[in-house]
Amino acid sequence: MEGGAAALTILVVALGAFLILKGVGDVLNPPRSTAPSRVPFSGGLSPDTHAWNRYHVRYYPMALLFLAFDMEMVFMYPWAVVFVEEGLIALIEMLMFITILLFGILYTWREGAFRWS
């Protein structure tokens, strides 16, 4: 409950600060915009088409790779806990696991997934 009250206080203070600053700013310099002032600046010309458009997100293979190796790290945590008990066997098992993943990296590399463009 205490945590909730604190969060609520922060929210109210932040909202109040925003409203006060915005109010003072609007009183001192009333906002005024016209159609030409709302277009994005591109050097003095106005655009004909809207900027909403779909494009190829070329970094998605990297995001997938990050996820894969992030999961690998998740497997390593329990392995690290039992490593001292199991000794050499645990080390060999992890090396096999890493080697299999390494082939995955080499395959991805060959396929050109690391090329940005």
Partner 1 sequence: MVVRSILARLAKKAPVPVFLISGIGGDEITDRLRLDDRLHVTDSPRPAMILMIAGRLTSDLKYAALQVHDQMAEPRAVVRWSPAERDPAAEVFPHFVAVDAVAAAAAATLAAAAVNTRDDLLAGSFPSSPPLLPDVEPNPWRGVGPWGQGGTGMTGGVPYGRPLPERAKDRDGLQLDQLLMRVGPFLPALPEGLILEVRLQGDVIQDVTVGANPFVEEAVPDSEEEELPAFPGPADLAPFLASLRVPVAVAELELARARHHLRWLGHALRVHGLAALGRRVLALSARVHSQGAGSSNALGSAEVVELRRSLERNFTLAWATRGIGRLSGDQLAALDGGPVARAAGIERDERCADPAYLALGFKPVVYAGGDALARWRLRLHEAEQSLRLAETAGNSMTTVTGTAEGPTGPLGRGPGPSSRLLPLLPELLTGLEWGDAVTTLLSLDLDLREAALTPPGSGVAPAWAW
Q: In the stretch 78-107, what mask flags binding to partner 1 with x, by CB under 8 A?
A: ------------------------------
Cβ neighbors of 59 (< 8 A, separation 6 or more) are: 116
In sign, the C-alpha dihedral spanning 110, 111, 115, 117 is positive
Q: In the stretch 21-60, what mask flags binding to partner 1 with x, by CB under 8 A?
A: ---x---xx--x-xxxxxx-xxxxxxxxxxxxxxxx-x--
In sign, the C-alpha dihedral spanning 19, 21, 27, 29 is negative
Q: Residue 3 carries which side chain, given as an amino acid letter?
A: G
Compute the least distance from the CB of residue 27 to partner 1, in Å.
9
Chain contacts with partner 1 (rule: CB under 8 A): 24, 28-29, 32, 34-39, 41-56, 58, 117
